[in-house]
Structure 1
């Protein structure tokens, strides 16, 4: 059985890392989410200045509009696939969108009306996409899988409020958290990428859970909404440390920067993006090299 450590224990020690503002408060809306970094060091996040947009931020913190999504679409989670295309969880349109970075054209990779709202997405090295699908009104959720061609598979329904999601560094597992229930589940991925063998990985006592990312060592970084913290959990399900933030409401996070060790965190109520230096580079940065 994996360790199920309480959040009070995780709060007892914090790291010496200090977050800073990459972009000023109010640059993004309170819907700021889904940070993801490209190989050139640019950071992308949804809802720049207004809902339904994606903004781009360079290494110096200069932010600009990158693309406006089709009418009726609002993005949440973002990920790059192995071809350098940007995938967008469009929660109002029930879509996974695909953006060609050179032309900034937007198309629909997958559409599924049975999704409450595709929220956060994770992607494997072979471009299989996994999406959390919360039903906030009923504190429930679903888990979906999308093939590289857009074929849709429902993995599980009747879950808690599914939110943060990430593939493990060794590609053997899928992590999915439930915000309201404060649980993280771990699934084993088979050779075709199908998750199964669900086990409880970690249980918190307080505060909501949001986005998650893995570093190169397999540690899982978890945004703790309302706590102003990123919890770092080892691959063995043991609390490692807590990273403290300026704001209290982190929604998601991503690794980037020149060495892949800069951790970018989107902050809901501030409409800002904070940054701090991590000990190790992120999983996505290592895969892109």
Structure 2
């Protein structure tokens, strides 16, 4: 593992840009930050509270899940971790950030069914639409049901597609785009949904789950799933909390491998570098962005930021 940047304020949502630099959100600071190969960081944009997952859209802009923020807990060892819905919570949103100007604008605050509570992770399909998870928020004595939505990047449609889910977090698409993967945080479960057309899924015939998904894998003990990325051959790589690291799962769930990392809040990853063989990972509680040589190539995203950023 190579540490690229340190001192980040709970980084998440790594995105590789066309020139090899990266974007990360800093959830606790409410900003989108660019990280260069030499470790230099520069602020790109101020976002709404609690930015989380991020992805480049077909227009070269960065689309950010505005999670609404958290209460923060700082620990004696210098780490920090998120907690309940904050006192100044004002809702969740999806934001579009113009990377050339740094201007951030709210694209959606509601789906067709309900207000967005805590958008978390995001992935674009080849059609230019995007899927995102709404994990919801936790309060002292109750919490929200979560959902998966699909939206157009022009602001014209945001549709709730999968509901209810228990803290849905990581989202990703199979290499052929015909399967949507969703990782639930609290249960430590990975689900698959068949995509029949952009923004629409089919219920698995034998599913007993209320949302109609197919269970791919679940983890024993107290391990929580966070965001995810997909490899070129279809394996699903899920950032794993408490047993910090990356859990690599085959599409049929028959093979599960754990890659340990030195942060119990390993929250997200993306692929880049020569041959897409570098995994860039956010080690969030210790404020680091790290890189690992990966044994297999990651899946190349459909869109990159335009040259000249």
**TM-score under structure 1 length normalisation:** 0.85
Query: Is the CA contact (8 Å cut-off) linking 2:93 and 2:117 kept in structure 1?
Result: no
Offset of residue 205 of structure 1: 1.1
2:137 is the counterpart of 1:102: no
Residue 149 of structure 1 aligns with which residue?
154
Distance 1:100 1:75, change over 3 A: same
8 Å CA contact retained: 2:109, 2:115 = no
**Residues 90 and 22 of structure 1: is their aligned pair in 2 closer, same or farther, counting only changes over 3 Å?**
same
Distance 2:62 2:37 in 1: 19
CA shift for structure 1 position 149: 2.6
1:59: Cα distance to partner? Answer: 2.1
After TM superposition, give the deviation of residue 33 of structure 1 in Å: 1.0
- The residue aligned with 2:210 is none
Say whether residues 1:80 and 2:56 are aligned partners. yes
Report what 1:23 is aligned to. 5
Summarize deviations over 1:216-259 as a string: whole Å, max 9, x none. 11111011111122111122222253222122210111112233
Higher relative contact order (CA 8 A, sep 6+): 1
TM-aligned CA distance change 1:287 to 1:233, over 3 Å: farther
Higher mean C-alpha displacement, 125-134 vs 171-180: 125-134
Among 276, 279, 289, which residue is 1:260 paired with? 276
Out of 37, 43, 49, the position equivalent to 2:22 is 43
Aligned counterpart in structure 1 of residue 216 of structure 2, from 187, 191, 201: 201
Contact 1:231 1:239 in 2 (8 A): no
Secondary structure of the equivalent of 1:28?
Answer: coil
* Residue pairs, 1:127-146, within 5 angstroms: 127-137=128-138, 138=143, 140-146=145-151
TM-score, structure 2 normalization: 0.80
The corresponding residue for 1:246 is: 262
Deviates further, 183-192 or 142-151:
142-151
Q: Quote how far apart the aligned CAs of 1:160 are.
A: 0.9
What does the per-residue CA deviation read over 1:151-186, in whole Å, with 9 as the maximum and x for residues that have no partner? 111112221111111111110110011111111110
Q: Distance in 2 between matches of 1:41 and 1:47?
A: 19
Post-superposition CA distance 1:45-95 (Å, at most 9, x none): 1118x61111111122222212222xx433100001123211000122522
Work out the CA distance in 1 between the residues paired with 2:303 and 2:51.
24
Detail structure 1 runs of 4+ shifted over 4 Å in the superposition: 285-288
Q: Which runs of 5+ in 2 are unaligned?
A: 69-90, 204-212, 305-309
Distance in 2 (alpha carbons) for counterparts of 1:99 and 1:205: 39
Gaps of 5+ in 1: 1-18
Alignment of 1:178-197 (within 5 A): 178-197=184-203
C-alpha deviation, 1:110, in angstroms: 1.9
- CA positional deviation for 1:276: 0.3
